[in-house]
Structure 1
Amino acid sequence: MGKINLFIKRMFDITVSLICIALLLVIPVYIIVPIAIKLTSKGPALFRQVRAGKNGKSFTMYKFRTMIVETYDNDGKEIMTENRITKIGKFLRKTSLDETPQLFNILNGTMSIVGPRPMLVYQMERCEGEELRRFEMRPGVTGLAQVKGRNNIRWPERIQYDLNYIKNFNVILDIEIIIKTIFLVFRKEGTDVIPEYRGVDRFSKHYVPDADSDAGKNNFL
């Protein structure tokens, strides 16, 4: 990847993050959004979740909460993800404002502006072989897979895009991805999960591997 490229990437991350945070304070997104979330649904304004970062190291990722805190209805049935999203949550997702707290993840060094999106820990444990290379770099707020389809592509395709990014990383590629991301945000594309792409697969929380499967074994555990 090159130490110079990685150094430039880190300096770029810090500079852009500080500028964006300053703008979001001036607008002021970081004041209005938390108040709107608290007024429209119970629960914290900020959502915290443990994700798998560089070299498989776990870290806490931040987002604005976009869903109700309840996961089951009064009859004890699990509420589907799309039915848990609040009205303000739909707006935040469409505009990608729910991701803006990750600017602080960038500042503390656990994330980058561009990189493979951070997986849940159990998903990392199910990666195999070359798939583990996606953890060689800091996870990103956006990435090659996001500008190629975001939620509208299947996991194998996402991982292949992540691997292509790792193998071909350079600062120019990062800038191209950022520009494409900005266009996609304004066009509000790829923010909805298409049901047929959410099937039970190796990276689904409902997946049960075969007894003789090697899924879940990796170099980080």
Structure 2
Amino acid sequence: MTAQIEEPIEAFPYTPPTEEIKAKYKHIFELKVPIKVPFPKLLFDKTLALFFFLATSPILIFLWIFNFFEGILIPENKGPLFFYYNGVSHGKVFKKWKIRLIKEKYIDKDLQAKGDWHAYKNEWMPEARTYMGRFVKKTYLDEIPQFYLILKGDMSFVGPRPLAVHHYERDLAQGNVTRKLVRGGLLGYGHVRKGTSDFGKPDFEYEYVHRYLTLSPWKLLLTDLYVIWKGIVVVAKAGGH
């Protein structure tokens, strides 16, 4: 008998679409294939991601040094700087790279080999985190590798946050369709409301896809700029957990 895995609330707060959402955004639920990324958004993503990828390179070097010396001083904290699990964006599975937060002994090696998010489910245990992991998570620096994923074309700057495969499948099962229609984003129209009562409500993800469909590519970029600004404010509060 397989033991039931306790999933932390932080990992998946998204709720099913309400009847009101289904009626208001009926045209979205009728879509059968993913939506093509508009060229201006694609160009914007690549340009901004390249800028941030280069700008954050010194931070990655600092974190690599931090991680290296922490591993020497505290052997149980030794391990690679990066890790990945399989996520879904635009309906496709990809390797979602992040900066390692927890000690190797708290990682399930069998699940890690499969790219299963559950390998890292101990992330929310304070004793499981390395000193660097605590700092990185609080300041959202674990998301830096996603600039590379935007350059690679797996993600966008703005879009519904990509979910691990099992969370994505549950999202679909409960009736949500946004994550199979557009590229996942470093920042989401709903995700930037983290810390408020609106976080986790699907309304914002559907509104974003609606704008994706109805606005001109250039007006869509204005929405993206708004979301990026809101994201900067969230990061500036250093409230990651």
Instruction: Please classify the TM superposition score into its range, dividing by the shorter chain length.
Output: 0.7 to 0.9
| Residue matched to 1:91 | 135
**Following the alignment from structure 1 to structure 2, what is the Cα–Cα distance between the partners of residues 6 and 91?**
36
Pairing 1:126-137 to 2, within 5 Å after superposition: 126=170, 127-128=172-173, 130-137=175-182
Pairing 1:41-52 to 2, within 5 Å after superposition: 41-52=77-88
**Following the alignment from structure 2 to structure 1, what is the Cα–Cα distance between the partners of residues 40 and 195?**
26
Judging changes above 3 Å, is the alpha-carbon distance between structure 1 residues 86 and 161 closer, same or farther for their aligned structure 2 residues? farther
**Following the alignment from structure 2 to structure 1, what is the Cα–Cα distance between the partners of residues 190 and 199?**
10
| Residue matched to 2:189 | 144
Pairing 1:30-69 to 2, within 5 Å after superposition: 30-40=60-70, 41-54=77-90, 56-69=91-104
| Residue matched to 1:105 | 149
Contact 1:5 1:171 in 2 (8 A): no
Structure 1 residue corresponding to 2:159, chosen from 115, 118, 125: 115
Contact 1:51 1:119 in 2 (8 A): yes
Structure 2 letter corresponding to 1:133:
T
After the TM superposition, which parts of structure 1 deviate over 4 Å for at least 4 consecutive aligned residues? 150-155
Alignment gaps of 5+ in structure 1: 73-77, 193-221
**Following the alignment from structure 1 to structure 2, what is the Cα–Cα distance between the partners of residues 30 and 86?**
16
Contact 1:134 1:166 in 2 (8 A): no
Structure 1 residue corresponding to 2:233, chosen from 151, 158, 183: 183
**Following the alignment from structure 2 to structure 1, what is the Cα–Cα distance between the partners of residues 165 and 36?**
30
Structure 2 letter corresponding to 1:68:
K
Root mean square deviation of aligned Cα? 2.7
- 1:166 pairs with 2:209: yes
Residues 152-192 of structure 1 deviation map (CA, whole Å, 9 limit, x = unaligned): 7664x1x3322222122321110001011111111123x22
Q: For structure 1, which segment, 172-181 or 16-25, has the greater mean C-alpha deviation from structure 2 after superposition?
A: 16-25
Alignment gaps of 5+ in structure 2: 1-27, 29-34, 71-76, 108-120, 213-219
Aligned length: 181
Contact 2:160 2:179 in 1 (8 A): yes
- 1:11 pairs with 2:43: yes
Contact 2:162 2:179 in 1 (8 A): no
Work out which structure has the larger RCO, using CA pairs closer than 8 Å and 6 or more positions apart in sequence. Answer: 2
Structure 2 letter corresponding to 1:64:
I
Judging changes above 3 Å, is the alpha-carbon distance between structure 1 residues 50 and 162 closer, same or farther for their aligned structure 2 residues? same
Judging changes above 3 Å, is the alpha-carbon distance between structure 1 residues 20 and 125 closer, same or farther for their aligned structure 2 residues? same
Contact 1:34 1:64 in 2 (8 A): no
Please give the TM-score of this superposition, normalised by the length of structure 1: 0.72
Q: For structure 1, which segment, 176-185 or 143-152, has the greater mean C-alpha deviation from structure 2 after superposition?
A: 143-152
Contact 1:114 1:174 in 2 (8 A): yes
Judging changes above 3 Å, is the alpha-carbon distance between structure 1 residues 6 and 57 closer, same or farther for their aligned structure 2 residues? same
| 1:150 Cα deviation after fit | 5.8
Identity of aligned residues (%): 29
Structure 2 letter corresponding to 1:117:
R
| 1:39 Cα deviation after fit | 2.8
**Following the alignment from structure 1 to structure 2, what is the Cα–Cα distance between the partners of residues 165 and 138?**
12
| 1:4 Cα deviation after fit | 9.8
